[in-house]
Amino acid sequence: MDAKRQHKAPARQSPDRDRRRWPREGQPHNEAAPPLVPALEPLSFSTLELAPEDQFAAWQAHMAPLVEVKLPDDKSLGDGFPADHTAWNLGGMLIAQQRAAAHSYVRSAAKLRSSSIDHWNIVLPHTGRSWTEVDRRVSESQPGKLEIRSLGYPFRGRATESESLLLYLPRDLFADAAATLDAKNNSILSGNFANLMVGYVNSIEARLRSLTADDLPRIVHATRSMIIACLGPPAEHAAAADQLASVALMERARRYVHQNLDAARLTPDSMCRALGVSRSRLYQLFEPSGGVLHYIQSRRLLAAHIALSDPADSRRIVEIAEAFGFSSAANFSRAFSKEFGYSPREGRSTVVFPRPAHSVSHAEHEKAPSFEGWLKALGS
């Protein structure tokens, strides 16, 4: 169905005709697949709701498991310390989105002796800069460049007002490449693989709220392979480099599908032309996802479900179906029911979004899961 027909179709249909096209509610469904449920619940902390004079002390307490933080010499407690920190637990990896005012930080030898946390920390600054010293060698970060640091070694540094994405991965995950990582401690990653990884990490951040349980172990494994490929010589890590290239291509393909869900002609051929790959390569890429056509339809169904469950979206069901490439209301209803286990009309009242992140007060902090608890459990 071309774009012109898609635009005019709703105008030619009367409400009665629309109702006749849809199956009656209450019809039985055959072995419906469970809905794709987001797996991650964010753990958020913020100083923004506190009095300015209490903000920095709250941030010190929150960061205490990792580092001791101090205000710059020209700042006082009364100036306030606006900061927030949202963590996501992927099981084998933690991801944290962090915004903070200027400060200095120290992970001392005394801290290490009292801490069991020795993970690898990958930092991707979005804004701001930092300078970190390990063994008298200073690494200067900059936006868009990955830096790698071990929490098993002492370090100190300072940061301007900044916004960053941080990954925490257990040391045991890299047992077979420990020497390679140790040699790159407190360094900025560079090269083509590092640039590819920046795009991949940004894409993970954009999808944190929609990742499913099946996605998580694959993301951890792919991230591990990417880090090794960034650090090691290609001859030693050819398999990791190949996987990095495949992951990057798959991410481009997924982004193309996501951006063209409402296109009249989203097909394998159009994807091959856009990505510059052969049909056999495209089919190989999507084989673990049940095939490229299955993947396109499942993404369209999920997008349609999100639109149906959005109270602000007043479009009729048939209009939403057509907007996401379904030319037949009956076909859409059958596919939707098979994917989610209920009809599109029932989907109107079924919310698929995860609960939004919320700030954790000091009183709630003791009852809720803690970032420190997540850090200590990582890799166990």
CA-based nearest residue to 350, from 309, 301, 306: 309
Cα dihedral sign, 325-330-333-336 = negative
CA 100/CA 81 separation, integer angstroms: 7
Which segments in the chain show pLDDT lower than 70?
1-37, 232-247, 349-368, 380
Q: Tell me the per-residue pLDDT of 174-202, one tens digit each, with 9 for 90 and over.
A: 888 888 888 889 999 988 889 999 999 99
Q: What angle do the packed helices 292-308 and 279-286 form, to 10 degrees?
A: 60
Side-chain-side CA neighbours of residue 70 (13 Å): 10
Q: What is the mean pLDDT of the chain?
A: 82
Share of the chain above pLDDT 70, in %: 80
Give me the pLDDT at residue 183, please: 86
Give me the pLDDT at residue 356, please: 33
H-type alpha helices, the chain: 3-12, 15-21, 52-63, 109-113, 178-183, 192-206, 215-231, 238-259, 268-275, 279-286, 292-308, 317-323, 329-340, 344-347, 362-365, 371-377
Q: Tell me the per-residue pLDDT of 209-248, one tens digit each, with 9 for 90 and over.
A: 999 988 999 999 999 989 988 886 655 445 555 655 666 7
Neighbour order of strands in the sheet with 162-169: 43-46, 83-89, 94-100, 162-169, 120-127, 147-150, 187-188
Terminal C-alpha separation, the chain: 53
66, 90, 119, 366 from 218: Cα distances, Å? 27, 10, 19, 32
Give me the pLDDT at residue 299, please: 84
CA 190/CA 201 separation, integer angstroms: 15
Cα dihedral sign, 237-239-243-246 = positive
**349 Cβ contact partners less than 8 Å away, ≥ 6 residues apart:** 309
CA-based nearest residue to 66, from 97, 103, 96, 105: 105
Give me the pLDDT at residue 247, please: 66
Concatenating the DSSP letter of every residue in 102-163 gives SEEEEE-HHHHHT-----EEEEEEEE--EEEEETTEEEE--TT--EEEETTS-EEEEE-SEE
Give me the pLDDT at residue 245, please: 67
